[in-house]
Structure 1
Amino acid sequence: MHDTTALRDHRNTTVWTLGRLLLGAFLGVSTGISSLYFYSLGPLMKPIAATYGWSRGQASLGPLVGILVGGLASPSIGTSPLSYTRVLVEHFDRRRGAALAVAVMGTGVGAILIPYLLVPFVAAHGWRSAYLALAIVVAIAVTPVAVLIRGAAAETDRARLRRAREPVALMSVVRTRVFVLLGTLFFLASLAVFGTTVHFVPMLSDAGLPVAEVGKIGAILGFTILGGRLFTGLLLDRFPAGRVTAALFCLSAAGMLALSVGGVKAALPAAVAIGLGMGAEVDLLAYLIVRHFPPSAFGTAYGGIYGLLNIGAAIGPAAIGLITTAHSDIRCRWSSPPSFSSLRRCLRSRSTGRVWRQGMRPPRRSTPDQGSIVSRISGMIGAVSKGSMRVR
């Protein structure tokens, strides 16, 4: 009887500990740089450009500096998803995909609330007051996040964490085929998706839509990002990661092509498609690294690939901004870099699925297979993309 009671108490403590970790990670991600900074760029870009007399391309270069610095420092940034996903990876063995999905849903909450609240707030009080309000949100969130994460981590198995944190040489991780493939894939993914997302709200405003409608469509984009987080986590626990990645990335590519063809009339379905694809990115990154790298290499691998993701997220908005300066038609903005990049990363994710399933071992190829054919098509799409940029 005593043993049964002790076992029940241990299980209750474990559930409470994991729940605190999950809640702390969710709050940390929702109030961190990946949420507040990225999703405030769109609503604030146009008023900042108007204040200083900048073009859209010039205004887009401002975030480029901040995101590049953040990307280079990402292995040591405490407010990035790296810190929180590392904690969850160390504590969740079963349903790891669902746990990661719940945590990174915090960015989806930011994607919903920030456009919906920030657009009318900026119209009433200005963009400087908006940044002050965002700073207050971060300051308020610091204490509860620290208490939840530190308190729960203190109750875990220290020996297991020490084994997971044995040092791994940086080059032994960077030189692996999986690191190169995942880094390339998520660089292209962030280049296309973040470039589109940052300019999505200004694009709707340029098209003459009312402020309220712009905020609503921006919130719909956030809802689909939130749904994409949870949906991806559930899929990853049931289906091969390569197929899930290819399907979701192709969906976001379809949304960008819809913008290219239909312009602002296709904004709503495009927001749904792009949001689902964007909601999958961080979730997929953490899950794939957990599958193919040992726990001791998780921080190194995640930090390196997340840095590449941030570099793509910096170049994408700047590229779209420069194209916006040259072309006023929204269809021209999405007809080359994002759409072609999305198609290319979609094909690359499908062709590298076999590599992911084999972990860190490179696949054997004695004859041309589907992967090599798809890789050639991917290269052709990249060449067409560069050609279209020169023409435009």
Structure 2
Amino acid sequence: MAGADTGDAVPMPRQTLLQEWQDHWRVGVAAFLALSFSLGSYMAATSMFILPLEKAFGWSRSDIAFAHNAGLLSAFLSPFFGRLIDRVGARRIMLVGSVLFALAFFGLGAMNGSLLLFYFLFAMIFVSGLATSGITCSRVVSEVFVHSRGFSLAAARSGMALSGAFLPAILYLVITHLGWRAGYMVEGMMVLLIVWPAIYFWIGRSGTRRDPQAARPLPTAVAPVRWGQLLREPKIWVLCLGASLGYAPASALMSQLQPLLIDKSINPASAATLVGLAGVASFVGAIVTGSLVDRFWAPGVALIFACGSAAGCMLFAGNATMTGPVAAGAIMLIGLGLGAEIDVVAYMVARYFGVTSFSTIYGLTVFFLTFSGSLSSWLLGSAYDRFGNYDLALSVMAGAFLAAGLAYLMLGRYPSRPVE
């Protein structure tokens, strides 16, 4: 599948990037908006609801964090979901899924204190959230952007980072002045009023396989590679391992970041602002990484950013109390690595294995990263309940980031010819 391991990425002509965006900017912007209000963006802001839910219903942090285990359901579904996208296209799935995603937020805003209902609605969020996740959005971008694929994936996925920068502060204000129910309602309305129209009007009506705005035709539909052949490819498993080791600590940390900062003696309002800083760093990390992987070996780029994330975790673990600047530095290091992780996995799927089975392979990586991310969020909440702080867990996270970077190196050199 991957072909002979010779040859590296070559610099792309600047006019190629500009021409591709002139031809396909509608697809890129629609993917950007979908990811801006996706499941990943909500995960960056979910810690805003922890303290209000504790106060409203008396739930413990581990009770609330356990809801993230609903991600295990979406994890198991991700490879099959990706297979469906490879066969029928993305547009219809994105339209239906975004409506269900919004309805789940409305349900959270109306819940009455039942943990069972809370867990059910989180399961609905995780499953319907697949429709506007990287499985679909990275696929539609990878189909039309070839020479500038790394940058274009980063530009689209930077929507998640930008949302992570501003959404926590917005929700903090909404929750402070209007209550946590209004916070969930605002989430749902943004999906319905922004994401759904962008998908409907700007993503091709047959799953982006024919874009009337494009100067060149999109790839002809080709049957995806069979499951047996995919599962026998060692590099797919290496990529899944790296993705899970890199995403799990980042996901867990973002799910508990505001309480963690408060425990480090940062006041609640400043903590909300610092949570937003992680989104800014993630945006910068995604754009920088996307530009670098179009020119340099992607696993090497990923390792450098993974080392930064590990250093950020150790800054948190090594300080019982923190000043704002030190906390900001740690968050910047982790956020830069998170942005790199978001972009580099999708790029490597397309670069090593091509677009024909992109969503199937990417869905397989999502299975591992969602499984590990959901479990790690619960484990982090449980670690706090048991030890009264996050320090031991943060040290483990640093090791996971380093292991992820080393795993990517095992992918080796790119195929001799770019796989499309």
- Determine the structure 2 residue equivalent to 1:6: none
Match of 2:319 among 244, 249, 262: 262
Please tell me whether the aligned partners of residues 47 and 257 of structure 2 are also in contact (alpha carbons under 8 angstroms): yes
Match of 1:229 among 279, 286, 301: 286
| In 2, Cα distance between equivalents of 1:242 and 1:216 | 32
Whether 1:111 and 2:164 are equivalent positions in the alignment is yes
Please tell me whether the aligned partners of residues 263 and 330 of structure 1 are also in contact (alpha carbons under 8 angstroms): no
Greater mean alpha carbon deviation, residues 149-158 or residues 296-305: 149-158
Match of 2:244 among 184, 187, 205: 187
Greater mean alpha carbon deviation, residues 261-270 or residues 83-92: 261-270
Q: What is the identity percentage for the equivalent residue pairs of Structure 1 and Structure 2?
A: 24
Please tell me whether the aligned partners of residues 252 and 274 of structure 1 are also in contact (alpha carbons under 8 angstroms): yes
- Determine the structure 2 residue equivalent to 1:320: 380
The letter of the residue matching 1:191 is A
- Determine the structure 1 residue equivalent to 2:407: 348
> Structure 1 residues 114 and 14 mapped into 2: Cα distance closer, same or farther (>3 Å)?
closer
Whether 1:199 and 2:266 are equivalent positions in the alignment is no
The letter of the residue matching 2:407 is R
Please tell me whether the aligned partners of residues 30 and 199 of structure 2 are also in contact (alpha carbons under 8 angstroms): yes
> Structure 1 residues 344 and 154 mapped into 2: Cα distance closer, same or farther (>3 Å)?
closer
- Determine the structure 1 residue equivalent to 2:63: 58
Whether 1:216 and 2:273 are equivalent positions in the alignment is yes
- Determine the structure 2 residue equivalent to 1:133: 186
Match of 2:219 among 161, 171, 190: 161
Q: For residues 296-315 of structure 1, what are the structure 2 equivalents within 5 Å?
A: 296-315=356-375
Q: Report the CA distance between 1:353 and its aligned residue.
A: 4.5
Residue aligned with 1:161, SS: coil
Q: For residues 27-106 of structure 1, what are the structure 2 equivalents within 5 Å?
A: 27-35=33-41, 37-65=42-70, 67-75=71-79, 76=81, 77-106=130-159
Residue aligned with 2:319, SS: helix
| In 1, Cα distance between equivalents of 2:390 and 2:373 | 20
| In 2, Cα distance between equivalents of 1:154 and 1:346 | 37
Please tell me whether the aligned partners of residues 239 and 407 of structure 2 are also in contact (alpha carbons under 8 angstroms): no
> Structure 1 residues 294 and 88 mapped into 2: Cα distance closer, same or farther (>3 Å)?
same
The letter of the residue matching 2:40 is S
Q: Per-residue CA shift, 1:280-317, capped at 9, x if unaligned?
A: 11211111111111321212111111221111110111
Structure 1 segments unaligned to the other structure (5+ residues): 1-10, 361-392
- Determine the structure 2 residue equivalent to 1:275: 335
Q: Report the CA distance between 1:206 and its aligned residue.
A: 3.5
Q: Report the CA distance between 1:358 and its aligned residue.
A: 5.1
The alignment covers a number of residue pairs equal to 344
The letter of the residue matching 1:339 is A
The letter of the residue matching 2:176 is A
Whether 1:329 and 2:389 are equivalent positions in the alignment is yes
Residue aligned with 2:132, SS: coil
> Structure 1 residues 162 and 320 mapped into 2: Cα distance closer, same or farther (>3 Å)?
same
> Structure 1 residues 291 and 213 mapped into 2: Cα distance closer, same or farther (>3 Å)?
same
| In 2, Cα distance between equivalents of 1:341 and 1:126 | 36
Please tell me whether the aligned partners of residues 44 and 164 of structure 2 are also in contact (alpha carbons under 8 angstroms): yes
Q: Report the CA distance between 1:38 and its aligned residue.
A: 1.0
Measured on the aligned residues, the alpha-carbon RMSD in Å equals 2.3
TM-score scaled by length of structure 1: 0.82
The letter of the residue matching 1:69 is L
Match of 1:177 among 208, 212, 234: 234
Q: Report the CA distance between 1:154 and its aligned residue.
A: 3.0
> Structure 1 residues 128 and 278 mapped into 2: Cα distance closer, same or farther (>3 Å)?
same
The letter of the residue matching 1:294 is G
Q: Report the CA distance between 1:73 and its aligned residue.
A: 2.7
The letter of the residue matching 2:191 is V
Greater mean alpha carbon deviation, residues 179-188 or residues 42-51: 42-51
| In 2, Cα distance between equivalents of 1:123 and 1:359 | 56
Residue aligned with 1:214, SS: helix
Structure 2 segments unaligned to the other structure (5+ residues): 1-16, 82-129
> Structure 1 residues 85 and 212 mapped into 2: Cα distance closer, same or farther (>3 Å)?
same
